[in-house]
Copies of this chain bind each other. A is one copy, B any other.
Amino acid sequence: MVAGRAGGEVMVRSPGRFTEISQDECLELMATTTVGWLAFVDAEGQQLLPVNFVLHGQDVYFRTMSGSAISSLADGHDDVAFAVDHHDDIYQKGWDVMARGTTARVDDPDLVAQVAAGARPRPWAPGERDVLIVLRPSVISGRRVRRQ
């Protein structure tokens, strides 16, 4: 990192580099993990919440409890972002993938059963989750970053 000061500003140049990830590889990377972040605005303002998820095709499924902040997404939300990442501090490289789209409640019994069958591992967080929500991405993007 080269840092210099000029007129109260700091200029930083990093030798790292980005590599864009194809959509297929984004989906493969998403499938390697089970915890992601959900970002959306509700009546309380900007929300940013960790969530256990299951990927099914290109769609992201997550369960929540009635009355939770996330459960409002079951009523339909037209602009929700979801992201997962992995960063290795030892090798100083990582990746992140972001999906953005709309959400809806899932009621179709066959789909509920399919998602439940594929739901491994079980959520770490406690509580009963009786609402199944799907995020259908309109955009999926990702990148690898390494420091050198």
Interface residues of A (CB under 8 A from B): 1, 3, 5, 8-18, 35, 37, 39-41, 45-50, 63, 79-83, 85, 87, 92-94, 96, 98, 100, 107-109, 112-113, 115-116, 119, 122-132, 145-147
Contact = CB atoms under 8 A, between A and B. Distances in A.
Contacts of A116: 3, 5, 10, 12
Given A1-B119, A63-B10, A119-B1, A45 B132 contact: no
A82 to B, nearest CB: 7
A85 B10 CA distance: 28
B12 A128 contact: yes
A93 B130 CA distance: 23
B122 A12 contact: yes
